[in-house]
Chains A and B, each alone.
Chain A
């Protein structure tokens, strides 16, 4: 039972001080992304109503549950419908 952070992480530091299990670490050169220690992560069970890293993370799809599913799926944080984002990106690419 543990979460993980993937390559979408932008290194914003928001999650690190919130983790009740001190499971999150950063590479201090500021470039490599943040990571969750699988042995320490409790998914905030018993500590908070919402898992803290996922509750503050601003990037959709950056934090995954044990099954690999995004805790903040596309569109859930920015409010941009995924199909609209795809259309906009296609328009920009076509220019």
Chain B
């Protein structure tokens, strides 16, 4: 069969076999979320478990793809950031899907995607409701996939209410990655986030309901850890509600054995029809999110590369190819699951060989420690389609990865969305141009590294104090960022604070 590769560009397709000159691959040696280094303290069997999981390993997300199947529409709680009228083609946020699938349809879709995108390593069920509030549909999907595509890792993302009663079923189906969304460990705060839960045949509201939810989440976390299941905890950062409380959450879940904490920004727009959106609750600014992640990082392995995917997302993180795999389209595809599995094994082996080369090179490189230790750090944005290199045109980027360069090295800080979450019909958005939105998203960055950039955006970027740079196309991200930092130092640009800091 013809081998189709993510992004399908000739350079992207070849990248796994290309020798890179030195470090790269997103975080590389620096101290970001779940980079190879941050995971070095973990036992080998756990490192192996997350090595090709894009949602658990920052490095892996440059190479491996994931998908969600929307087989779980029912939910057993209400969250103030969620609107249960979940059907929207134009929004990219959790809990939203375009079509619900039966388990049979979902299995067919997974096999189609895994045959078309051989970088696919993970299948998750994340809604649009709660997977464990739909146990028959969720576990029937897993059962069939274990049979037909045993190489694909299975995972679920749950609110935790039904977790204790489903832990045994999860273990029976070989689910070795579970994400629990835990926004608080204090029922008074919980009542401001979760107005009700459905528990023992009643709708339980307020503090009482939140208390039940928290107890179930903590119990479920403990049970999973006791059975050796890897647990990631997601928390939504809601300024003024739980932002000051999340460091405590981080401590508690770490003490109970969670492997990774992912603090995500609240997404709230009136258009989404959620409580927070309609009531005008704001989300955190990028610097507020980064400060909280840094504060929690002392206690816990932090994730900074989450893209808050839809419950039917397909592709690399930050990418959604769901429209290529609608029920109509997959019905026409001719799939040979065994041949596809062999192709995946070959492609994954290529990726791993490529990553080992890079890791060996990264171990030897200390790119910036010869610079004066007191130089101020600089944030830079990078346009990339994956593979850990600068390889995307500025105007094509729907998101940018943000790195911080300083004499201590280069570290990954997170991503910034360049397109609005809701880019659909004319009831969405408020007339800002795409470039305006991108410029706002890049606030605080002093340079943007991309494969190419047009003249008009070049001028707007310069005027905004963000230096466009297209000189490092196809170079590993960390090398390019380090090089630009070095050039800024040589040009005296690090002697003064930028305008945005003094304004």
Contact = CB atoms under 8 A, between A and B. Distances in A.
Interface of A: 10-14, 18, 28, 30, 48-50, 52, 55-56, 58-59, 77-80, 84-85, 88, 91-93, 95
Interface stretch (B83-91, B255-263, B393-401): B83-91
B271 A80 contact: no
Interface stretch (B29-37, B198-206, B411-419, B438-446): B198-206
Interface string B95-125: 0000110100000000000000000000000
B270 interface: yes
Nearest to A14: B74
Interface string B425-451: 001001100000000000000000000
A79 B281 CA distance: 14
Given A48-B201, A52-B201, A77-B196, 19 more contacts: A11-B73, A12-B73, A12-B129, A14-B73, A14-B198, A28-B102, A30-B99, A30-B100, A30-B102, A50-B203, A55-B203, A56-B76, A78-B83, A78-B195, A79-B195, A84-B278, A88-B270, A93-B427, A95-B427
A58 B202 contact: no
B132 to A, nearest CB: 13
A74 B195 CA distance: 14
B325 interface: no
Q: Most chain-B CB neighbours within 10 Å: which of A13, A52, A85?
A: A13
B203 A56 contact: yes
B202 A50 contact: yes
Interface residues of B, number: 34
Contacts of B273: 85
Given A10-B85, A12-B75, A78 B275 contact: yes
A69 to B, nearest CB: 18
Nearest to A84: B278
Nearest to B105: A30
A77 B195 contact: yes
A71 B87 CA distance: 23
B134 interface: yes
A6 B183 CA distance: 33
B311 to A, nearest CB: 12
B155 interface: no
A15 B277 CA distance: 27
B203 A10 contact: no
Nearest to B136: A17
A70 B90 CA distance: 30
A8 B430 CA distance: 28
Nearest to A15: B74
Nearest to B269: A92
B133 A14 contact: yes
A85 B273 CA distance: 8
